């Protein structure tokens, strides 16, 4: 806290210096929502002109300010609101120069002026044009103007969506981050998820600190300008390592102006079908704005309010070929959406040559959505309000910018499936799914939830200039609070299901329909033809922290953010600018630094691990020496940056280069998810995994349950149809929840001292991630109103969190020979006449009787990770020598998946931008405003995923591919697009309409190829190729993201054939450990399926490929003017076609390479392979992944929508 107060005091001290500064200095600051004008006054010989008078005037608001050039001829004016300005430059003995220029958000506009000898009564008029190159700043950014925003066809008018025309930007649905973000958008920049893209509104940070993207939506009609920083953002920018958005809201002017609008869409009006179905959809969006003077030249107002009422549905993604009866009965999923947002602002041209403003906003939305999970509907409601205040003024010869703000966000989520007859709910009270078939049925596992966030912010920016040096400095302070609860898996068990294959060539008695041996499969019946392959059950509680917050006695999170910076901008010559700066940034308590790590005295005595020689021994030191230290709060977050801009000759060219370090934050969800395991007492959310090798459940009271009503959990998992086993699993969850309540707060079931499972807890050497960014490029004004730029940008991200199991649970080199012997003996003894021994004869007898690795794994021939859900066997009352055969380094500890700051990623790209803004560019065209942006780049990361097609979101729950070498596997991230073409703009035809357009053409996304873990138990013998204990490894010889980069659809079968020839039937390191110990032979391992399984080839010559992305939106509008009634009054009807050519876009199939056991044969001709690369490549299987409308107004790549518009402009 003392450090926080010290930084606050420094901020005030810096501000105070402005009031005491020498009058020989003068200053300028680019405010966080405005811009500035900076320039050098010279004569026609190039000599500097000191003491020239420079007067700036806003024709819209009457704002005026006058400065003089210093001894170096340099002058600075700002901060200034974005807009048009006139400069009048005078000096004795020289003609007067009148310059019409434009100031953009976050941009230092060049104001270099050359004076000619003459009388001041003579005036030379100069117009710089609305489109100018940046000769002052070395970073890479663009500003999207109000004119562009008004004319771009943006479906739903989401304010972030306008950034989609920028190079390298990928528009994302906020729901990909979290269910609370349904109805929001996000921006991916530099090949990284948009979770932490920093979003500033009028200097107010409106980024959601819980899960990412924006806290609230803003009406597009309220946006004045939108600046996107793509590389080496300004030193004053807030915490982010990827990109930043600066948005300024509109202000009133000396004339009254505004707009009323109404937009209408209906699926019966020029819509394309979704997956062959007319899916009901209707949107009514209406609102308006008005601004003007309260007192001319002094006080202005602006108000904007909009509302969306949307009755919408999305097409069911259930497989038509396998589950036609469900798809036909429930073809659409209702996803209604409503949103109201409003903004009001006052602006005052006040004393000290200053500009002062106050703004308020309110946003409320409600939406039904499914988080991408079919019939798993939930209802979400967000309520957000905020206030911001700002002052930009001069004191003596300096300028200052102050900001203060407050915002509060509240979200509620509830299940929307119960009693909803429009969705398939196959087993009430039980959630189950099969991703490959698009089947998701039952209550939504994310509900109920409640989330809060508030943010109080103070900020100061200032500067002063001495000679050719402009010194900028500032500080900011944020108090961020979070809160809420989330009872994940609390309403119902959530089970993944897999099909009974029925008889196969290798197993004629395999289970089929109704789990009858030898019966045919019935893949079209999810209740009779499938079993539970894995399942979660929740304890019914929702808290994650013990801290009070927002009226609750738990669930709170708290953090201070403070930063300060300083930068020198040196005008080396009138053509050369060099910048050197430093920013210091700290986020407190983002990794539970306030908590002590547990000691052996905190461990349940019944499971006390080896190494606890006394109660004072740090528990985490038993996992790895040094982990018992308290988590470090990083304070050494210094981020330097430097830049150089050279603009030779007539300033038609700008060559720029920059380098900078940028600190990243850690969202609250990461911190709260890692906190519960460190709290010894309290009732908090906790889950248990069942099936997938785990056949018993430990309860908080210490009881271990392995059967339900006399039915063994192992049999319920793999040998019982889900339609039958579900009733028992519901009872199991009810018993688990009752035990949690009865045990009470005195024993937190998720506490690491009660489980010895350390997954997801922070390692002590936590540090904030940071990036190192480089850019080099050139801008060239080809002609007035036409600019082209080319930039190379590089972003190296270091020290983001990755989970690494330091106990190496399941690793092949840590074999407990006694436990393995006992597991083999117990399994062999369960077969009549084989004998309970581990001899070769007993094992051969059991194999001949049908024993397979799944049977041996149930008795412990597996890892603790699989057999005991990552807990040690002692947590289930089982001694280590009777537990798992591969328990890790310390067999009395469970998983040690601590969070280490070791992740890294890289982004490299060439970005080309063509911008044109001209009057009469071509015959018959009155005006045009066009931007075309192309990026050739790559994004690679060490962030691991599961299932191949999962998100490599490196700022949230990043896993690792290899515990033994966490950064060895690096490859294309899941949002890497090698080629991206974005375009947008508008043009007006003479005597005709205004045409607006937005287009996107992207190359395919990559997918990681991983081995199949569908079969239960013993996966370390089938898919742990490197022996580190993790299963479902990357396919050998491939890197992350290999599919569509190194291997294409036509190469899949070739790879599989090579793989089968090299690996199929071979022994994994875990199997080899058993062979070396003399417990099993290679032949026995192969016979019991405890060897690498052969992969199934695709019956098609070419597997389903990840598709390219194509979309083109176009709108037409025509203003009917009523200038005789009032100047500027017009009625403007319009029509917009989103995805006008109805391009088909698709998601990715799973990257899991299925084995022959899963598909029931050597080729993926069965239903089990549908949706996988091993499956049939046909339209029906591809159509399951067809892109469609998502929550709120997000519709990137969806089938064509048509919108009818009507605007009243005045």
String of DSSP letters for 875-932: GGT--GGGS-SB--SSTTS---EEEEEEEEEEEEEEEEEEEEEEES-STTEEEEEEEE
pLDDT tens readout for residues 378-414: 999 999 999 999 999 887 678 899 999 999 999 999 9
Predicted confidence at residue 1178, as pLDDT, reads 84
Q: How far apart are the first and last CA of the chain?
A: 52
pLDDT tens readout for residues 421-440: 889 999 999 999 998 888 99
pLDDT tens readout for residues 810-848: 999 999 999 999 999 999 999 999 999 999 999 999 999
Task: Identify the domain boundary among 726, 757, 788.
Answer: 757
Give the closest residue to 853 by CA, choosing from 993, 1021, 710: 1021
Is 979 part of a structural domain of the chain?
no
Task: Report the number of distinct structural domains present in the chain.
Answer: 2
- Per-residue HEC secondary structure of 625-675 comes to CCCCCCCCCCCCCEEEEEEEEECCCCCCEEEEEEEEEEECCCCHHHHHHCC
List of residues 6+ apart from 844 with CB closer than 8 A: 1084
Beta bridge partners of residue 1110, listed in sequence order: 1001
Q: Round to whole Å and give the CA distance between 174 and 681.
A: 34
Predicted confidence at residue 952, as pLDDT, reads 64
pLDDT tens readout for residues 307-357: 999 999 988 889 888 999 999 999 989 999 999 999 999 999 998 878 999
Q: Round to whole Å and give the CA distance between 1092 and 1155.
A: 9
Is the pLDDT score of 541 beyond 50? yes
Averaged pLDDT of the chain: 91
Q: What's the rounded mean pLDDT across residues 609-629?
A: 96
Dihedral angle of Cα 885, 890, 894, 899, to the nearest 10 degrees: -130
Q: Round to whole Å and give the CA distance between 265 and 283.
A: 5
pLDDT tens readout for residues 878-927: 999 999 999 999 999 999 999 999 999 999 999 999 999 999 999 999 99
Predicted confidence at residue 396, as pLDDT, reads 67
Is 626 part of a structural domain of the chain?
no
Is the pLDDT score of 19 beyond 60? no
pLDDT tens readout for residues 656-708: 999 999 999 999 999 999 999 999 999 999 999 999 888 889 899 888 999 99
Report the DSSP pairing between strands 711-712 and 707-708: antiparallel
Predicted confidence at residue 489, as pLDDT, reads 95
Helix (H) or strand (E) holding 855, with range, is helix 853-858
Q: CA of 434: how far to CAs of 304, 439, 1096, 1185, in Å?
A: 45, 5, 19, 14
Give the closest residue to 802 by CA, choosing from 767, 771, 756, 772: 767
Q: Which domain holds residue 692?
A: 482-499+531-559+676-757
**What tokens appear for 707 in the block?**
């059967």
Instruction: Report CA 386 to chain centroid distance, whole Å.
Output: 24
Is the pLDDT score of 1059 beyond 60? yes
Is the pLDDT score of 205 beyond 90? yes
Predicted confidence at residue 95, as pLDDT, reads 84
List of residues 6+ apart from 739 with CB closer than 8 A: 699, 700, 701, 703
Report the DSSP pairing between strands 170-173 and 185-188: antiparallel
pLDDT tens readout for residues 80-99: 888 889 889 998 888 888 98
Q: Round to whole Å and give the CA distance between 1008 and 988.
A: 46
Predicted confidence at residue 1210, as pLDDT, reads 94
String of DSSP letters for 930-954: EEEEEEEEEEEE--B-STTTS---T
Q: CA of 1004: how far to CAs of 141, 192, 1048, 1094, in Å?
A: 26, 16, 11, 28
pLDDT tens readout for residues 262-319: 999 999 999 998 877 889 999 999 999 999 999 999 999 999 999 999 999 988 889 8
pTM here is 0.89
Task: Identify the domain boundary among 757, 792, 822.
Answer: 757
List the alpha helices (DSSP H) in 406-563: none
Predicted confidence at residue 958, as pLDDT, reads 84
Q: What's the rounded mean pLDDT across residues 373-381?
A: 93
3-state secondary structure of 841: helix
Residues in the chain: 1210
Is 681 part of a structural domain of the chain?
yes
DSSP designation for 1067: P
Q: Round to whole Å and give the CA distance between 37 and 113.
A: 12
Is 547 part of a structural domain of the chain?
yes
Asked if residue 1152 lies in contact with residue 487, where contact means CB atoms within 8 angstroms, the answer is: no
List of residues 6+ apart from 335 with CB closer than 8 A: 312, 313, 314, 367, 368, 369, 370, 377, 1191
Is 661 part of a structural domain of the chain?
no
Check residues 72 and 901 and name the one with the higher pLDDT. 901
The structure tokens 């698709």 sit at: 1146
Predicted confidence at residue 32, as pLDDT, reads 61
Give the closest residue to 864 by CA, choosing from 923, 810, 803: 810
**Is cis: bond before 448, omega within 30 of 0?**
yes
- With the C-alpha atoms ordered 711, 714, 717, 721, is the resulting torsion angle positive or negative? negative
Q: What's the rounded mean pLDDT across residues 983-1010?
A: 96
Asked if residue 1141 lies in contact with residue 1131, where contact means CB atoms within 8 angstroms, the answer is: no
3-state secondary structure of 187: strand
Dihedral angle of Cα 1008, 1010, 1015, 1018, to the nearest 10 degrees: -140
Check residues 281 and 37 and name the one with the higher pLDDT. 281
CATH code, 115: 2.60.40.1120
Q: CA of 482: how far to CAs of 208, 278, 551, 1056, in Å?
A: 10, 42, 12, 49
Check residues 110 and 976 and name the one with the higher pLDDT. 976
Q: Round to whole Å and give the CA distance between 531 and 692.
A: 11
Is the pLDDT score of 1170 beyond 90? no
Report the DSSP pairing between strands 1130-1138 and 1010-1011: unpaired
Predicted confidence at residue 688, as pLDDT, reads 93
Please, what is the Cα angle at 559 between 555 and 562, to 5 degrees?
165
Predicted confidence at residue 8, as pLDDT, reads 38
Instruction: Report CA 409 to chain centroid distance, whole Å.
Output: 19
Asked if residue 622 lies in contact with residue 890, where contact means CB atoms within 8 angstroms, the answer is: yes
Strands (E) across 1083-1128 are located at 1109-1117, 1120-1121
Crossing angle for the helix pair 840-848 and 817-829, nearest 10 degrees?
Answer: 50
The structure tokens 């060897």 sit at: 1091
- If one counts every other C-beta atom within 10 angstroms of the C-beta of residue 57, the result is 16
Predicted confidence at residue 4, as pLDDT, reads 39
Q: Round to whole Å and give the CA distance between 1162 and 1156.
A: 5
Predicted confidence at residue 6, as pLDDT, reads 42
The phi and psi torsions of 853 (rounded to 5 degrees) equal: -60, -35
Beta bridge partners of residue 551, listed in sequence order: none
Predicted confidence at residue 845, as pLDDT, reads 96
3-state secondary structure of 819: helix
Asked if residue 874 lies in contact with residue 882, where contact means CB atoms within 8 angstroms, the answer is: no
The structure tokens 């600051």 sit at: 29
> Sorting pLDDT into bands at 50, 70 and 90, what band is 25?
very low
Task: Identify the domain boundary among 724, 757, 790.
Answer: 757
Mark residue 1002 as left, alpha or beta (left: phi above 0; alpha: psi -120 to 50; beta: remaining): beta
Q: CA of 1191: how far to CAs of 617, 651, 842, 978, in Å?
A: 51, 47, 58, 27
Is 843 part of a structural domain of the chain?
no
Predicted confidence at residue 191, as pLDDT, reads 84
Predicted confidence at residue 1137, as pLDDT, reads 98
Count how many Cα atoms sit within 13 Å of the Cα of residue 415 in the half-sphere of its side chain.
27
Is 75 part of a structural domain of the chain?
yes
Is 967 part of a structural domain of the chain?
no
- If one counts every other C-beta atom within 10 angstroms of the C-beta of residue 918, the result is 19
Asked if residue 968 lies in contact with residue 1026, where contact means CB atoms within 8 angstroms, the answer is: no
String of DSSP letters for 146-179: HHHHHHS--TT-BGGGGGGGSTT-EEEEGGGT-G
């Amino acid at each position: 806290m003392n450090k926080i107060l010290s930084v606050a005091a420094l901020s005030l001290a810096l501000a105070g210096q402005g009031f005491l500064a020498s009058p020989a200095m003068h200053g300028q600051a680019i405010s966080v929502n405005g811009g500035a004008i900076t320039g050098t006054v010279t004569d026609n010989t190039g000599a500097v002109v000191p003491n020239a008078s420079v007067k700036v005037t806003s024709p819209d608001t009457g704002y005026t300010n006058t400065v003089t050039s210093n001894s170096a001829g340099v002058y600075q004016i700002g901060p200034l609101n974005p807009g048009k300005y006139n400069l009048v430059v005078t000096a004795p003995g020289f003609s007067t120069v009148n310059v019409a220029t434009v100031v953009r958000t976050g941009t230092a506009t060049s104001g270099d002026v050359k004076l000619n000898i003459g009388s001041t009564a003579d005036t030379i008029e100069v117009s710089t044009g609305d489109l100018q190159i940046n000769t002052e700043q070395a970073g890479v950014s663009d500003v999207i103007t109000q004119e562009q925003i008004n004319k771009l066809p943006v479906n739903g008018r989401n304010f972030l969506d306008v950034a989609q025309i920028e190079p390298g930007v990928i528009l994302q649905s906020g729901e990909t981050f979290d269910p609370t973000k349904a109805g929001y958008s996000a921006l991916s920049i530099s090949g990284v998820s948009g979770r932490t893209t920093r979003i500033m509104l009028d200097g107010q940070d409106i980024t959601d600190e819980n899960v990412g993207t924006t806290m609230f939506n803003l009406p597009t009609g309220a946006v004045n300008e939108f600046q996107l920083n793509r590389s080496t953002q300004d030193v004053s920018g807030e915490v982010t390592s990827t990109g930043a958005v600066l948005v300024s809201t509109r202000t009133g002017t000396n004339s009254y102006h505004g707009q009323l609008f109404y937009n209408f869409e209906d699926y019966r009006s020029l819509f394309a079908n979704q997956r062959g179905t007319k899916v009901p959809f209707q949107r009514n969006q209406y609102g308006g704005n008005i601004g003007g003077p309260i007192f001319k030249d002094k006080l202005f107002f602006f108000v904007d309010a909009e509302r969306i009422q949307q009755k919408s549905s999305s097409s069911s993604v259930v497989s038509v070929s396998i589950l036609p009866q469900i798809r036909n009965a429930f073809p659409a999923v209702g996803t209604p959406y409503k949103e109201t947002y409003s903004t009001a602002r006052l602006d005052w041209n006040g004393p000290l040559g200053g500009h002062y403003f106050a703004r308020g906003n309110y946003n409320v939305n409600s939406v039904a959505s499914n988080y991408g999970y079919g019939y798993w509907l939930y209802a979400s409601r967000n309520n957000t309000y905020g206030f911001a205040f700002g002052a930009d003024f001069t004191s003596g010869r300096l300028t200052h910018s102050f900001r203060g703000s407050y915002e509060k966000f509240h979200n509620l989520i509830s299940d929307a499936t119960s009693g909803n007859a429009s969705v398939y709910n196959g087993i009430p009270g039980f959630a189950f799914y099969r991703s490959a078939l698009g089947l998701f049925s039952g209550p939504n596992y994310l509900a109920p939830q409640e989330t809060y966030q508030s943010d109080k912010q103070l900020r100061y920016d200032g500067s002063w200039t001495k000679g050719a040096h402009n010194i900028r400095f500032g500080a900011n302070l944020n108090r961020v609070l979070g809160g809420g609860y989330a009872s994940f898996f609390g309403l119902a068990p959530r089970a993944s299901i897999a099909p009974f294959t029925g008889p196969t060539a290798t197993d004629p008695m395999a289970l089929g329909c109704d789990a009858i041996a030898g019966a045919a499969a019935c893949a079209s019946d999810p209740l009779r033809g499938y079993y539970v392959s894995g399942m979660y059950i929740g304890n019914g509680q929702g808290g994650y922290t013990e801290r009070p917050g927002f009226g609750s006695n738990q669930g709170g999170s708290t953090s201070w953010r403070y930063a300060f910076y300083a930068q020198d901008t040196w005008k080396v010559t009138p053509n050369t600018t060099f910048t050197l700066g430093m920013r210091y940034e700290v986020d407190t308590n983002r990794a539970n630094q306030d908590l002590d790590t547990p000691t052996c005295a905190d461990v349940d005595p019944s499971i006390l691990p080896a190494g606890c020689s006394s109660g004072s021994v740090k528990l985490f030191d038993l996992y790895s020496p040094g982990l018992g230290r308290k988590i470090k709060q990083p304070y050494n977050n210094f981020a330097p940056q430097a830049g150089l801009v050279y603009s030779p000759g007539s300033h038609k060219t700008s060559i720029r280069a920059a380098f900078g370090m940028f600190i990243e934050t850690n969202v609250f969800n990461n911190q709260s998810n890692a906190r519960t395991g460190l709290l010894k007492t309290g009732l908090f959310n906790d889950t248990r995994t069942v099936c997938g090798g785990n056949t018993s459940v430990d309860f908080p009271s210490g009881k271990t349950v392995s059967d339900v009503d006399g039915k063994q959990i192992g049999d319920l998992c793999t040998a019982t149809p889900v339609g039958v086993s579900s009733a028992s699993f519901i009872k199991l969850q009810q018993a688990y929840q009752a035990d949690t309540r009865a045990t009470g707060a005195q024993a937190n079931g998720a506490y690491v001292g009660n489980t010895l499972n350390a997954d997801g807890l922070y390692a002590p050497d936590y540090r904030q991630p940071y990036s190192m960014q480089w850019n080099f490029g050139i801008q060239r004004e080809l002609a007035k109103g036409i600019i082209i730029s080319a930039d190379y940008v590089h972003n190296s991200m270091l020290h983001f969190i990755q989970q690494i199991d330091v106990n190496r649970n399941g690793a092949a080199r840590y074999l407990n020979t006694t436990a393995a012997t006992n597991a083999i003996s117990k399994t062999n003894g369960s077969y009549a006449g084989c004998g309970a021994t581990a001899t070769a004869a007993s094992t051969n007898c059991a194999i001949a009787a049908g024993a397979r690795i799944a049977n041996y794994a149930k008795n412990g021939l597996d890892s603790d990770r699989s057999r005991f859900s990552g807990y040690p066997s002692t947590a289930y009352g089982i001694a280590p020598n009777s537990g798992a055969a591969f328990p890790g380094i310390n067999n009395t500890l469970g998983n040690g998946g601590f969070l280490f700051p070791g992740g890294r990623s890289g982004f490299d790209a060439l970005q080309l931008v063509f911008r044109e803004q001209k009057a009469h560019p071509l015959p018959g065209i009155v005006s045009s405003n066009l931007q075309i942006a192309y990026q050739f780049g790559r994004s690679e990361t060490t962030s691991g995923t599961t299932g191949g097609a999962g998100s490599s979101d490196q700022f949230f729950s990043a896993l690792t591919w290899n515990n033994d070498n966490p950064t060895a596997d690096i490859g294309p991230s899941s949002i890497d697009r090698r080629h991206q073409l974005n375009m947008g703009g508008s043009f007006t035809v003479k005597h005709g309409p205004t045409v607006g357009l937005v287009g996107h053409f992207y190359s395919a996304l990559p997918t990681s190829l991983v081995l199949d873990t569908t079969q239960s138990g013993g996966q370390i013998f089938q898919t742990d190729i490197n022996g580190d204990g993790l299963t479902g490894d990357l396919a050998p010889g491939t890197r992350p993201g290999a599919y569509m980069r190194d291997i294409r659809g036509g190469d899949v079968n070739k790879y599989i054939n090579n793989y089968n020839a090299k690996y199929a039937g071979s022994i994994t390191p875990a199997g080899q450990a058993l062979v070396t110990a003399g417990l099993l032979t290679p032949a026995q391992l192969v016979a019991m399926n405890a060897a690498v399984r052969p992969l199934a080839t695709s019956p098609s010559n070419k597997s389903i490929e990840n598709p390219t992305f194509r979309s083109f939106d176009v709108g037409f509008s025509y203003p009917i003017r009523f200038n005789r009634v009032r100047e500027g009054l017009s009625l403007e009807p319009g029509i917009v076609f989103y995805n006008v050519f109805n391009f088909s876009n698709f998601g990715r199939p799973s990257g899991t390479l299925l084995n022959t056991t899963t598909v029931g044969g050597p080729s993926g001709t069965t239903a089990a392979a549908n949706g996988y690369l091993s499956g049939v490549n046909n339209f029906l299987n591809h159509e399951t992944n067809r892109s469609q409308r998502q929550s709120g107004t997000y519709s990137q790549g969806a089938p064509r929508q048509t919108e009818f518009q009507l605007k009243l402009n005045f």
